Structure 1
Amino acid sequence: MSAKTLSVVVCALFVLACTLGIALAAPSKDAATAMRVKVASARLGPDLGQALSQLEKLSGTAFYPDWLVLGDLGLGKDTAVSVEGTEAAVGQLLDAVLHKVAPKGQMLAWFIDRDRVHITTQARALAATRSREQASSAAARPGGRRVPSSTTLTFDETPLGDAVNFFRSCSGLNIHANWKALELSGITKDTPISLKVNNISLGKALTLTIEQLNAGKAREDSIYWVVDDGVVLISTGTALNQKTKIKTYDVGDLLTFAPEFKGPRFNFDMIGNNSGSSTGVNGSGMGVGGDRKGLFDEETTREDREDRDSRAVQRKEIRDTLIKTIKEAIGEDMWTPTGKGSIKMIGNRLVISQTLLGFKLLEESGTLH
């Protein structure tokens, strides 16, 4: 199997694992413990091969660098590197070594599999971890695509364009960055971003990446990511606040309430009354002739009407409050007549016409899901 074919297979397995939301099993206890070993003082180098060998001895576990992949990046055992550290864990020292030798725009990572520390690119580390869990984990759980707990996602002054490409390759999603709109907000492919996380969803990692670009920016100038027809769009509030879409939400459960049942009032004068022109119905003694009064008195009938009217008023109040809450969640200026959004009730369904920015703000507010 060629290296290109193997790469395609690994990526396909990763995307499938992400789609299934496979849980990540904890790495081997021995290897994980070894990578947490604290080193009082260490001087690693002068090249990558010797630095890794020194870390193997300090941790007591085997390292398996993917030299084929690293070689494609121009890295080898003789790549110069020097790292010094005190009171640092072996894993932290390895992170420092990989950070120093990583080419610009590339990120390296390590992960644990079967008591072995594998070293490769960050994208391949994520893919391999996901593929392994799909094959070995018998207990799957939902949770979406996540950054594995055994692999750290690290951006260190990484160009935004490279970060976007990383999210695209690792998630398998269609991700489109509107660079023309971003540039109007002062953001380019070369804008540096920094992030270090693990065990969070890729969506959250993307949010954290973008949030650092929004410091001091107004709502329309800020950067957002939204999902539109299966495509993840990264753009500015202004660009996302142009065209409207319509979404409907079933809110019938919010419009229901427990009415107060008072119970009927019986007209006991009609029970067993033989003075009317009729002696009853089928001899039951319940008079229906004469003055034609019913079993339930007029007070009960009047209260039924009032109760129906009261429920109608309460439903209207609930609908009005719901609409007001949704509008206030993102600001009245996002709705007509100032903005482009509109909202109305049709039966038990809430119909919202709003821009992609409006729906993103509603999502962030937690008002609608």
Structure 2
Amino acid sequence: MAGVALAQESEGAPPSAVRQHNLAVSVLRQHVDIAEFQDQTFEEVLDWIRDQGPINVVAQWRALEAEGIGPDNFISLELRDTTVGDVLIEAVDQLSDVSPVLFRASGNTVKISTKADFDRKMELRVYNVTDLLIRIKNFTESPRIDIEQASQGGQQGGQQPLFSGGGGQEQDDDEDDRQLDEDDPGLVKLREVIEDTIEPEAWDTYGGKASIRPWDRSLIVTAPLEIHEKINGAFVR
């Protein structure tokens, strides 16, 4: 199992800065006609990836070796019409059947380690969920259509209004501007959906370490990067 953290382009940034910011991701997306490794070491595969572009490829050997994974692990694969990233995915998939190995691409660096190692590093992000909490406004004294009255008025030669009633006064004009508390039904439901669908065992609700704290129209999420990627929809695999 392997994942890539996709870098986001900074709006208004010069092209050179954007390319540098996304360099590792760009290299992983490069097309490769053929990649073939027969009983070659994992370190040799990493050297091949380094040769594909000016990026750093860093393996967290302490965490990997704790799971019995080292630079001398043998890799055998043959891929055609593929990408650099797909080659790395296939390579790390061969390293362990027990402990998933992941990689993260950010800036000009690709880091490789175990899922457990990445999960230990918690990151706090604030998600604005205003668009998911839109409520349908309640109107009073809305216009009423009186078909019968309009029909009778036409027969009598007079002109009767088709609509009657008020002008549609809106109730609770300030409802959308009020601050929401953490028990707001919309925020509670949104938190439950995330906790029940994205790695439930990781959340403190179910005994894990990750947490979601509602605040006004936002969710404050403290979780490993992999979970943030899934919330953002940027997790590749």
Interval of TM-score (by shorter of Structure 1 and Structure 2): 0.5 to 0.7
- Report the equivalent of 1:148: 31
Q: TM-score, normalised by structure 2?
A: 0.61
Q: Which amino acid aligns with 2:31?
A: P
Alpha-carbon shift at residue 162 of structure 1 (Å): 0.9
Secondary structure of residue in 1 paired with 2:171: helix
- Sequence identity of aligned pairs in percent? 23
Secondary structure of residue in 2 paired with 1:171: coil
Residue 182 of structure 1, aligned match among 61, 64, 82: 64
Change (3 A) 1:324 1:368: farther
Equivalent-residue separation in structure 1 for 2:83 and 2:94 (angstroms): 17
- Which stretches in structure 1 are left out of the alignment for 5+ residues? 1-15, 21-142, 267-294
Residue 127 of structure 2, aligned match among 238, 246, 249: 249
Alpha-carbon shift at residue 228 of structure 1 (Å): 5.8
Per-residue CA distance 1:215-240 (angstroms, 9 max, x = gap)? 2x1xxx32111246753221112222
Per-residue CA distance 1:148-203 (angstroms, 9 max, x = gap)? 25x21222222111111221231322221011211111111111122333444433
1:232 correspondence with 2:115: no
Change (3 A) 1:349 1:178: same
Alpha-carbon shift at residue 362 of structure 1 (Å): 5.0
Equivalent-residue separation in structure 1 for 2:26 and 2:115 (angstroms): 26
1:346 correspondence with 2:229: no
Q: What does residue range 88-107 of structure 1 map to in structure 2 within 5 Å?
A: none
Equivalent-residue separation in structure 2 for 1:336 and 1:245 (angstroms): 15
Per-residue CA distance 1:117-166 (angstroms, 9 max, x = gap)? xxxxxxxxxxxxxxxxxxxxxxxxxx9433425x2122222211111122
- Report the equivalent of 1:167: 49
Secondary structure of residue in 1 paired with 2:31: coil
Equivalent-residue separation in structure 1 for 2:217 and 2:187 (angstroms): 9
Equivalent-residue separation in structure 2 for 1:319 and 1:158 (angstroms): 51
Secondary structure of residue in 2 paired with 1:152: strand
- Report the equivalent of 2:159: none
Equivalent-residue separation in structure 1 for 2:74 and 2:81 (angstroms): 23
Q: Which amino acid aligns with 1:304?
A: Q
Q: TM-score, normalised by structure 1?
A: 0.42
Q: Which amino acid aligns with 2:79?
A: V
Per-residue CA distance 1:222-267 (angstroms, 9 max, x = gap)? 211124675322111222232322123333333335x25545358x
- Report the equivalent of 1:304: 171
- Report the equivalent of 2:155: none
Secondary structure of residue in 2 paired with 1:354: strand
Q: How many residues align?
A: 187
Secondary structure of residue in 1 paired with 2:38: strand
Shift >6 Å, 4+ stretches: none
Whether the 8 Å CA contact 2:138–2:171 is kept in 1: the answer is: no
Residue 208 of structure 1, aligned match among 85, 90, 95: 90
Change (3 A) 1:350 1:157: farther
Change (3 A) 1:361 1:306: closer
Secondary structure of residue in 1 paired with 2:70: coil
Equivalent-residue separation in structure 2 for 1:188 and 1:306 (angstroms): 63
Q: What does residue range 287-302 of structure 1 map to in structure 2 within 5 Å?
A: none
Equivalent-residue separation in structure 2 for 1:177 and 1:336 (angstroms): 30
Equivalent-residue separation in structure 2 for 1:230 and 1:343 (angstroms): 31
Change (3 A) 1:305 1:256: closer
Equivalent-residue separation in structure 2 for 1:214 and 1:184 (angstroms): 12
Structure number with larger C-alpha Rg: 1
Q: Which amino acid aligns with 2:54?
A: G
Secondary structure of residue in 2 paired with 1:189: coil
Whether the 8 Å CA contact 1:341–1:354 is kept in 2: the answer is: yes
Per-residue CA distance 1:302-360 (angstroms, 9 max, x = gap)? x8249959x979x94433232223223343331226322122233443322113xxx22
Whether the 8 Å CA contact 1:173–1:231 is kept in 2: the answer is: yes
Equivalent-residue separation in structure 2 for 1:366 and 1:203 (angstroms): 22
Greater per-residue strand proportion: 2
Q: Which amino acid aligns with 1:238?
A: A
- Report the equivalent of 2:199: 331
Equivalent-residue separation in structure 1 for 2:228 and 2:123 (angstroms): 14
